[in-house]
Amino acid sequence: MTTERFDTDVLVVGLGPMGATTAVALATYGVRVHAVSRARWLADTPRAHITNLRAAEVLRSLGLEEEIRKQATPWEWMGDTPFTSSLAGPELFRMRTWGTGDDRYGDYRRSSPSTMVDLPQTVAEPILVNAAGSRGAVLSFHTEYVGSAQDESGVTVRLRDTVSGVEYTQRAKYLVGADGARSRVMQDAGLSVEGVMARAGTVYAQFRGDLSKYVAHRPSILNWIVNEDAAVGEIGLGLLRAVHPWDRWIAGWGFDVSQGEPDLSPETAKERIRAYVGDPDFEPEILSIAPWYVNEAYAPQYSTGRIFCGGDAVHRHPPSSGLGSNTCIQDAFNLAWKLAFAVTGDAGPTLLESYSDERAPVGRQIVTRANQSRRDYALIRDALAPESPDSARGLGKLTSDSPDGQRARALLEAAVDLKQYEFNAQGVEMNQRYASAAVLPDPDAAPEVFDRDPDLFVQATTRPGAKLPHAWLVDTRGQRISTLDVVSGSSMTLLTGRAGRVWVDAVEALSHQRLRAVVIGDPGTEDLYLEWQRVREVGESGAVLVRPDGVVAWRAQVAPTDAGQCRALLEDVVAQILGIAILTPTV
Model confidence band, residue 229 (pLDDT cutoffs 50, 70, 90)? low
Residues 420 and 437 in one domain: no
Whether the CB-CB separation of 425 and 419 falls below 8 Å is answered with no
> For the segment 509-546, what is each residue's pLDDT rounded down to a tens digit?
998 899 999 999 999 999 999 999 999 999 999 999 99
pLDDT per position as a tens digit, 62-82: 999 999 999 999 999 999 999
Is the N-terminal amide bond of 246 cis, ω within 30° of 0? yes
Residue type, 229: D
| 313 falls within a domain | yes
pLDDT at 393: 73
* pLDDT above 60 (res 586): no
Position 404 scores a pLDDT of 87
Residue 583's pLDDT band, with cuts at 50, 70 and 90, is low
Is residue 226 a part of any domain in this protein?
A: no
397 and 349 in one domain? no
pLDDT the model gives residue 382: 86
Question: What's the pLDDT tens digit per position in 373-429?
Answer: 999 999 998 888 877 776 667 888 888 888 888 998 999 999 999 999 999 999 999
At 216 the three-state DSSP class reads: coil
Q: Are residues 550 and 446 in the same domain?
A: yes
In terms of domains, do 32 and 152 share one? yes
What pLDDT does 432 receive?
Answer: 97
Last residue of a domain, one of 372, 391, 420: 372
Q: What is the pLDDT of residue 587?
A: 46
Share above pLDDT 90 across residues of the chain, in percent, rounded to a whole number: 89
What is the per-residue pLDDT across 313-363, written as a single tens digit (0 to 9) for each? 999 999 999 999 999 999 999 999 999 999 999 999 999 999 999 999 999
The answer to the question of residue 80 being in a domain is: no
Band (585; pLDDT cuts 50, 70, 90): low
Domain extent, residue 485, equals: 433-587
The answer as to whether 83 is a domain residue is no
Work out the mean pLDDT of the chain and round it to a whole number: 94
Domain check: are 463 and 542 in the same one?
Answer: yes
| Domain match, 127 and 155 both | yes
pLDDT band per the 50, 70, 90 thresholds, residue 109: very high
Any idea what the CATH number is for the domain that residue 504 is in?
A: 3.40.30.120
Burial (CB < 10 A; 0-12, 13-18, 19+), residue 511, is exposed
In-domain check, residue 581: yes
Q: Is the pLDDT of residue 45 over 80?
A: yes
The DSSP-derived string for 256-295 is: -GGG-SPP--HHHHHHHHHHHHT-TT---EEEEEEEEEEE
Residue-level pLDDT at 43:
85
Q: Is residue 347 in some structural domain?
A: yes
Strand stretches in 115-193, DSSP E = 117-118, 138-140, 143-150, 155-161, 167-177
Domain boundary among 414, 430, 446: 430
Is residue 305 domain-resident?
A: yes
Cα angle 221, 224, 229 (rounded to 5 degrees) comes to 140
What secondary structure letter does DSSP report for 201? E
Q: Clarify whether residues 353 and 307 are in a common domain.
A: yes
What pLDDT does 347 receive? Answer: 94
Q: How confident is the model at residue 118 (pLDDT cuts 50, 70, 90)?
A: very high
Are 460 and 552 part of one and the same domain?
A: yes
Alpha-carbon gap, residue 307 to 174, rounded angstroms? 6
One domain, residues 409 and 465: no
Q: Find the DSSP H helices in 225-377.
A: 266-277, 324-343, 349-375
Contact residues for 445 (Cβ-Cβ < 8 A; gap 6+):
463
Quick one: 525 and 437 in the same domain?
yes
> What CATH number should be reported for the domain holding residue 329?
3.50.50.60
Report whether pLDDT(367) > 60: yes
Query: Quick one: 411 and 512 in the same domain?
Result: no
Task: Judge contact between 33 and 9, C-beta under 8 A.
Answer: yes
**Has residue 1 got a pLDDT over 50?**
no
Angle of the 17-28 helix axis to the 121-134 helix axis, nearest 10 = 20
Cα distances from 62 to residues 35, 47, 490, in angstroms, run 17, 23, 10
Give the count of domains, the chain: 3
- How many angstroms separate the Cα of 535 from the Cα of each of 274, 401, 469? 52, 50, 7
For the cut 90, the answer to whether the pLDDT of residue 4 exceeds it is no
For residues 453 and 442, state if they share a domain: yes
Out of 322, 344, 372, pick the residue that ends a domain.
Answer: 372
Gap between the Cα atoms of 83 and 220, Å rounded: 11
Residue 306 lies in a domain: yes
- The set of residues, in sequence order, having a beta carbon less than 8 Å from that of 328 and lying 6+ positions away, is 16, 17, 18, 21, 48, 178, 310, 311, 312
What confidence category does residue 584 fall into, taking pLDDT thresholds of 50, 70 and 90? Answer: low
